[in-house]
């Protein structure tokens, strides 16, 4: 048996992964996978909470998300990938948890509130309101210790911890309280200046974008609107491009900020500098992506064997859960 602590983390298959994922989560996954037993969930059921009307998209997006993770350095020889909907124990656990989570605690969840606004929902689905409960099941069905995530997920991890404490005191202490892990850049802004780059918000630079696309996207990124001429002094604090320098060009942040404030560097040169840094960083990612794209059978195999392994863990923990709840009827 693997004695290491366990990581559970993952993504919704709602599109291709972007730079927000890279700094917010993927880099942590790649760095931690040797020290932690790492499970990567491809949360297709959670994707349905906002995409129930186009389930046919999932098949391709499951593959995209798996390949993006591998391209970013999550090694399928070391980490285990699995598909959420193929672990029915997660759905079972979600049902049990939903008996003691209040509707009000979900309505007041700050991330749910933000997402309702971002998606422009007038009314919300039961499954959408309850996805943090399902996420608690994703994290706890395998007794994960650590969950590397972006900032938007913190309220959900907090709920998971509460659920575990409640379950353990109501029944028997079998579940493990997970801890969140946030990276240096826990919320990357979108190209549109939106507070979060998001797959479903159409404001991202994707790991799969080619060099020219990255260049065009950065060229169009929002900067300080008051800086029109080269001689105008700028304010980096309100510039999206500067936020990307902070995330991806740490070594030059001081210079970039000064050059902007005293009008020493123009926006075009500043953007070109960033584009070069991003493309240099993404080049090895693109190479790895191409490797897996050429080997679809290998990707399928990784997902199938990973899911089978995780299913074994899920069955074992579910047996403990049922026993703790005294609903193990036939011994």
- Dig out the tokens for 126 from the structure: 């039961």
CA 63 to chain centre: 15
Residue 187 as a binder of ligand ATP (CB under 6 A): the answer is: yes
Q: How far is the CB of 327 from ligand ATP (least distance, A)?
A: 32
Crossing angle for the helix pair 110-119 and 154-170, to the nearest 10 degrees: 140
Instruction: Work out the number of other CB atoms within 10 angstroms of the CB of residue 120.
Output: 6
Distance, CA of 274 to CA of 289 (rounded, Å): 22
Residue 188 as a binder of ligand ATP (CB under 6 A): the answer is: yes
Residue 21 as a binder of ligand ATP (CB under 6 A): the answer is: yes
List, as own/partner pairs, every contact residues 184-187 make where C-beta atoms lie below 8 angstroms and the sequence separation is at least 24, other chains included: 184/23, 185/23, 185/24, 185/246, 185/247, 186/24, 186/150, 186/151, 187/20, 187/24, 187/150, 187/151, 187/152
Number of residues that bind ligand ATP (CB under 6 A): 20
Q: How far is the CB of 230 from ligand ATP (least distance, A)?
A: 31
Q: How far is the CB of 196 from ligand ATP (least distance, A)?
A: 5
- Exactly one of 155, 198, 234, 259 binds ligand ATP (CB under 6 A); that residue is 198
Residue 276 as a binder of ligand ATP (CB under 6 A): the answer is: no
Q: How far is the CB of 211 from ligand ATP (least distance, A)?
A: 22
- Exactly one of 6, 196, 227, 243 binds ligand ATP (CB under 6 A); that residue is 196
- Exactly one of 6, 7, 16, 20 binds ligand ATP (CB under 6 A); that residue is 20
Q: How far is the CB of 127 from ligand ATP (least distance, A)?
A: 14
Q: Which stretch binds ligand ATP (CB under 6 A): 196-204, 250-258, 261-269, 317-325?
A: 196-204
- Dig out the tokens for 127 from the structure: 């499954």
- Residues between 148 and 177 with contacts to ligand ATP, criterion CB under 6 A: 149-150, 152-153
Residue 11 as a binder of ligand ATP (CB under 6 A): the answer is: yes
What angle is formed at CA 304 by the lines to CA 302 and CA 306, rounded to 5 degrees?
Answer: 65
Distance, CA of 238 to CA of 253 (rounded, Å): 14
Of the pair 160, 318, the CB lying nearest ligand ATP is at 160
Of the pair 83, 321, the CB lying nearest ligand ATP is at 83
- Exactly one of 200, 255, 276, 305 binds ligand ATP (CB under 6 A); that residue is 200
Residues 160, 93 contacting (CB under 8 angstroms) = no
Residue 14 as a binder of ligand ATP (CB under 6 A): the answer is: yes
Tracing tokens 């602590």 back to the chain, one arrives at: 5
Q: How far is the CB of 54 from ligand ATP (least distance, A)?
A: 13
Q: Which stretch binds ligand ATP (CB under 6 A): 186-194, 206-214, 228-236, 264-272?
A: 186-194
Tell me the DSSP string of 108-140.
T-HHHHHHHHHHT-SS--HHHHTHHHHHHHHHH
Residue 71 as a binder of ligand ATP (CB under 6 A): the answer is: no
Residue 235 as a binder of ligand ATP (CB under 6 A): the answer is: no
3-state secondary structure of 172: coil
- Dig out the tokens for 191 from the structure: 């190209």
Residues that bind ligand ATP (CB under 6 A): 11-12, 14, 20-21, 24-25, 149-150, 152-153, 186-188, 196-201
């Amino acid at each position: 048996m693997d004695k290491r602590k366990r990581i559970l983390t993952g993504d919704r298959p709602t599109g291709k992964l972007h730079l927000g994922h890279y700094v917010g989560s993927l880099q942590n996954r790649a760095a931690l996978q040797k020290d932690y037993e790492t499970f990567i969930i491809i949360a297709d059921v959670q994707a349905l909470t906002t995409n129930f009307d186009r389930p046919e998209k999932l098949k391709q997006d499951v593959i995209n998300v798996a390949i993006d993770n591998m391209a970013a350095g999550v090694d399928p020889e070391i980490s285990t990938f699995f598909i959420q909907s193929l672990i029915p124990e997660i759905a079972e656990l979600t049902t049990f948890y939903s008996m003691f989570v209040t509707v009000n605690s979900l309505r007041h969840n700050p991330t749910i509130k933000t997402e309702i606004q971002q998606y422009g929902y007038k009314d919300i689905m039961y499954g959408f309101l309850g996805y943090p409960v399902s996420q608690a099941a994703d994290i706890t069905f395998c007794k994960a210790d650590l969950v590397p995530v972006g900032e938007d997920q913190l309220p959900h991890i907090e709920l998971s911890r509460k659920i575990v404490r409640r379950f353990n005191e109501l029944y028997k202490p079998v579940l493990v309280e997970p801890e969140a892990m946030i990276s240096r850049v826990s919320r990357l802004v979108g190209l549109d200046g939106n507070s979060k780059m998001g797959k479903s918000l159409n404001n991202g630079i994707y790991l799969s974008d080619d060099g020219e696309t990255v260049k065009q996207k950065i060229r169009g990124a929002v900067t300080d609107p008051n800086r029109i001429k080269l001689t105008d002094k700028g304010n980096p604090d309100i510039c999206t491009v500067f936020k990307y320098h902070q995330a991806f060009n740490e070594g030059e942040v001081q210079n970039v900020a000064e050059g902007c404030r005293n009008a020493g560097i123009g926006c075009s040169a500043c953007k070109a500098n960033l584009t070069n840094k991003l493309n240099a960083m993404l080049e090895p990612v693109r190479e790895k992506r191409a490797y897996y794209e050429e080997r679809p059978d290998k990707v399928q195999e990784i997902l199938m064997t990973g899911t089978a392994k995780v299913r074994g863990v899920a069955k074992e923990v579910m047996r403990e859960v049922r026993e703790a709840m005294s609903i193990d009827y036939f011994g």
